[in-house]
Structure 1
Amino acid sequence: MQRCEITGVGIITGNQISHSHRLSRRAWRPNLQLTTITVNGTAVRVKVCPKALKTLKGLNESETIKFLRANSATLSSKVAKALNK
């Protein structure tokens, strides 16, 4: 399943509405980007949404760890494991 490994943003479902107002199910998928972040000296490859990527862009390692701890409820297991080392 497509899910941001930091913020937890995932697939959203709803209806596609045609001109005649017929409804059919559809899904909006997140724009996930593959990037590498350094957590406690360990390089971790993660899939993140652009909002999290923009936040992480200018941060050093200690600020990155602080940001990850703030989002600890939605972290993936591999990021949480690297954070707790």
Structure 2
Amino acid sequence: MAKCMVCNKSVSFGRNIRHKASGGWARRAPKTNRTFKPNVQKTTIMVDGEKVQIKVCTQCLRTMYRAR
């Protein structure tokens, strides 16, 4: 399972609702389960002079690049 090593962001679950939601109770739009997966990238960072490869979500990666 993809998981960010900085913020522990992982897969979250939700519902997928079709756009054909009109028609009241007689013809309800189908709702199916789905997963929201984080955009996790492998990146190399310097920690105490050593290169360390970690898995980071893109939000944390953007924050790390801005902090430089």
Q: Say whether the fold is shared (TM-score over 0.5).
A: yes
Under TM normalisation by the shorter chain, which class is it? 0.7 to 0.9
Q: Residues of 1 paired with 2:67 and 2:17: CA distance?
A: 42
Larger Rg: 2
Instruction: Find runs of 4+ consecutive structure 1 residues off by over 3 angstroms.
Output: none
C-alpha separation in 1, matches of 2:48 and 2:64: 15
Q: Does 1:47 align with 2:55?
A: yes
Please give the per-residue CA displacement for 1:39-58, whole angstroms capped at 9, x wherever unaligned. Answer: 11221111111111112115
Query: Which structure's residues are more often helix, by fraction?
Result: 1
* Structure 2: gaps (5+ residues): 22-28
RMSD in angstroms over aligned alpha carbons? Answer: 1.6
Find the counterpart in structure 2 of residue 16 from structure 1.
16
Give the paired residue count.
60
Kindly indicate which of the two structures has a greater share of residues assigned to strand.
2
Q: How does 1:1-85 map to 2 (within 5 A)?
A: 1-18=1-18, 19-20=20-21, 21-59=29-67
Q: TM-score scaled by structure 1?
A: 0.62
